[in-house]
Amino acid sequence: MLKPEAQPVTFSVALCTYQGAAYIAEQLQSMLDQTVLPDEIVIRDDGSQDETLAICREIARTSPVPITILPPGERLGVAGNFFACARACCMDWILFADQDDRWLPERVALFKNAIADHPDAPAIQSDGLIADAHLNPTGETLWRSYFFSPREQALVQAGRGEVILTRHVFVTGAALTVRRDWFLALPAPATQFYHDEWIGWFAGPALRLLPAATFLYRQHESQQTGLATTWHAHWQHLLDSQLHARTLLERDLARFPRLAAALREAGLHERADLVAAKTCFVQRRLSFSRFLPVRLFQVLASILTGDYTRFAIARRSIVKDLIFPASLAKR
Number of H helices, E strands in the chain: 15, 9
Task: Check residue 231 and give its pLDDT.
Answer: 55
Residue 232, φ and ψ in degrees, nearest 5: -60, -45
Cα–Cα distance between 87 and 209 in angstroms, integer? 23
Whether 196 has a pLDDT exceeding 80, the answer reads: yes
* CATH superfamily ID and name for 11-218: Spore Coat Polysaccharide Biosynthesis Protein SpsA; Chain A (3.90.550.10)
Weakest mean pLDDT among 45-59, 182-196, 285-299, 312-326: 312-326
Whether 235 has a pLDDT exceeding 60, the answer reads: no
Whether 130 has a pLDDT exceeding 70, the answer reads: yes
What is the secondary structure of 207-263 as a DSSP string? -EEEEEEEEEEE--TT-SS----SHHHHHHHHHHHHHTHHHHHHHHHHHHHHHHHHH
Q: How far is CA 281 from the centre of its chain?
A: 23
Q: How far is CA 208 from the centre of its chain?
A: 14
Cα–Cα distance between 189 and 84 in angstroms, integer? 11
**Average pLDDT rounded to a whole number, residues 105-118:** 97
Whether 48 has a pLDDT exceeding 60, the answer reads: yes
Task: Check residue 4 and give its pLDDT.
Answer: 63
SS3 state of residue 34? coil
Nearest to 53 by CA among 37, 67, 66: 67
pLDDT band with cut points at 50, 70 and 90 for residue 175: very high
Q: How far is CA 58 from CA 53, 63, 154, in A?
A: 9, 9, 44
Whether 60 has a pLDDT exceeding 80, the answer reads: yes
Name residues whose C-beta falls within 8 Å of residue 280's C-beta, 6 or more positions apart in sequence.
none
**Average pLDDT rounded to a whole number, residues 91-109:** 98
Whether 302 has a pLDDT exceeding 70, the answer reads: yes
Task: Check residue 8 and give its pLDDT.
Answer: 85
* Intervals of CATH 3.90.550.10 along the chain: 11-218
SS3 state of residue 266? coil
Q: Specify which residues 131 forms β-bridges with.
A: 137, 218
Task: Check residue 72 and give its pLDDT.
Answer: 86
Whether 204 has a pLDDT exceeding 80, the answer reads: yes
Cα–Cα distance between 185 and 204 in angstroms, integer? 15
Q: Which element (helix H / strand E) includes 300? A: helix 292-304
